[in-house]
A and B are shown apart, each in its own frame.
Chain A
Amino acid sequence: MHAPVPAIEVRGLAKTYPDGFQALKGVDLDIRSGEIFALLGPNGAGKTTLISIICGIVNPSAGTVRVSGHDIIRDFRAARSLIGLVPQELTVESFESVIATVKFSRGLFGKPRDDAHIEKVLRDLSLWEKRDNRVMELSGGMKRRVMIAKALAHEPKILFLDEPTAGVDVELRRDMWEMVRRLRESGVTIILTTHYIEEAEEMADRIGVINHGELVLVEDKTRLMKQLGRKELSVHLQSPLAAIPSALAGRPLELADGGHTLVYSFDAQAEESGIPDLLKALGENGIDFRDLRTRESSLEEIFVNLVRARA
């Protein structure tokens, strides 16, 4: 049986800008059809360059990209008509009406007029009441909605959201997450870049981390959390310890806070945490404690660690 054709297939993609800046250094990436893929990375890591090349806004220096099997250069019409893009910058046709600018996008992507679809998109984004307003009269959040509406006007199969929630209020962020889920249910592949880790943690099926133009890792979100997500138990002691008692040796223990705290690391997903054993051992050795606290490392910490480790 053949493996299903990936929504996006990136091979050896490199980009060097005319000023000599190497934005991408040979990226290989497959994005599966129907998934939500979050691309994480600090500013200047190459996220936007990667998206811009796939969407046809920036020319690659080397490498290939296929969109549902269509080469983005040789077969650009087929490739691009599958894609909807919501860029990071808020750029709108200020003098146009909302509905005109959204209809324009649909036509541009080669789709015949479909008023029912346009109405649906505008209603989904709470823009229907504002359809005859000029775009310049709208608030920043509303303009962002217009950009999303434009990207959805031609019923794309793949949607790129470049920093979708940067500078967006809570309500719109919630609406947007809701919309992304609905789109995914209808079979749309979604690629989002963000540096809000919670966004990726909340939404994504898989996570890719990019730094200095290289893809540092691509992993299933739950597996990533499992592999790298450590839980810590902090035991605040009644009286400080100078060293870990020999009776407790062999366990993943560390002393912190000048001997006042005993830190126990364990796997968040493991069946046996080993905590009952540890507590029993503490009691048997006469080590009294005031308080216990557990903490799970977030994707953010994982991400920071990864980026630091490879910097």
Chain B
Amino acid sequence: MTLNLHAIRAIYIFEMARTFRTLMQSIVSPVLSTSLYFVVFGAAIGSRIQEVDGISYGAFIIPGLIMLSLLTESISNASFGIYMPKYSGTIYEILSAPISAVETVIGYVGAAATKSLILGVLILITARFFVDYEIQHPFWMAAFLILTALTFSMFGFILGIWADSFERLQVVPMLIVMPLTFLGGSFYSITMLPPFWQTVTLFNPVVYLVSGFRWSFYGSSDVGVELSLAAILGFLALCTGIIWYIFRTGYRLKV
């Protein structure tokens, strides 16, 4: 099978151009809001909180905060990227072009994931100005970063196809993703919770992401790193399956 590389490139460039056109909203604003977290939780309040697992609180929350931005931005980038052509009607061109589902997904998801990665790295650099941190396993840190950006961009893509109004486009990130991320151990170690809630938390997929990512920084984690990796790969496989189903059946794209 030969890929229509020109088409992938066209979609990718088109989507990246959209990012740079809306630089304030897509890059500057998430970096700024994360910086505020560092100021408040890292420097101001964090200095009065005791160390967690032997790590200063300011440093402890860095992996979680990056994951928080990575998840929300991946989802919003990718969902918006595919929802807009559906909303404006320009999707006709994608549907009538000589491209397969694989190429469409590589273009849209690739661009959304790239954007999140840029954002993740920028936040990591910004954090340096507020707190000291170390990265014990740089390879695994990068791997978690890329896998998460990719998986949640795919999830966003699915969301964008499913959504048939701007309201629906917002509802999943606001009502499901946001609470899961906040309760996913970004700001605390789950061992700090009462036993019952520790068990409940294990059903939150975000816990595995944050935990694995934090392990790549400081070498300690709430759940086993293998389990974290398995969880994200599992979710990646699930999203791939759903996208395959969408294109096979034409769900919400074709009648």
Contacts and interface: CB of A to CB of B under 8 A. Distances in A.
Interface of A: 17-18, 55-59, 76-81, 83, 85, 87, 89, 91-96, 100, 103-112, 150
Given A57-B254, A76-B98, A100-B17, A107 B88 contact: no
Interface in B17-70: 17-18, 21
Contacts of B9: 107
Per DSSP, are chain B's interface residues mostly helix, strand or loop, or mixed?
Answer: helix
14 contacts: A17-B255, A55-B96, A59-B254, A78-B98, A83-B96, A93-B88, A93-B90, A94-B88, A103-B10, A105-B10, A105-B93, A107-B11, A110-B4, A110-B99
B207 to A, nearest CB: 38
A96 B22 CA distance: 12
A77 B1 CA distance: 11
A220 to B, nearest CB: 29
A18 B255 contact: yes
B89 interface: yes
B196 to A, nearest CB: 47
Contacts of A92: 88, 90
Contacts of B194: none
Contacts, number: 84
B96 A57 contact: yes
Contact of A77 (B11, B96, B98, B255): B98
Nearest to A89: B89
A85 B6 contact: no
Given A56-B96, A95-B21, A109 B89 contact: no
Contacts of B10: 103-108
Given A56-B95, A106-B6, A107-B7, 18 more contacts: A18-B255, A58-B254, A58-B255, A59-B250, A59-B255, A76-B98, A81-B98, A89-B89, A93-B90, A95-B21, A100-B17, A105-B10, A107-B11, A108-B11, A108-B94, A109-B98, A112-B6, A150-B93
Nearest to A160: B96
Given A18-B255, A108-B99, A110-B98, A57 B92 contact: yes
Interface centre among A58, A76, A85, A91 (most CB of B within 10 A): A91
A56 B91 CA distance: 12
A100 B90 CA distance: 14
Contacts of B176: none
Interface residues of B, number: 27
A109 B7 contact: yes
A287 to B, nearest CB: 62
Given A18-B255, A95-B21, A108 B89 contact: no
B203 interface: no
A77 B89 CA distance: 22
B96 A104 contact: no
B200 interface: no
Interface centre among A17, A58, A77, A150 (most CB of B within 10 A): A77
Nearest to A77: B98
Contacts of B13: 104, 107
B14 interface: yes
A153 B116 CA distance: 32
B97 interface: yes
B18 A95 contact: yes
Contacts of A93: 85, 88, 90
Contacts of B92: 57, 85, 87, 91
Contacts of B4: 77, 110
B201 to A, nearest CB: 42
Contacts of B95: 55-57
Contacts of A87: 89, 92
Given A95-B18, A107-B7, A112-B6, A85 B96 contact: yes
Contacts of A111: 6
A85 B99 CA distance: 15
Contacts of A107: 6-7, 9-11, 13
Nearest to B99: A108
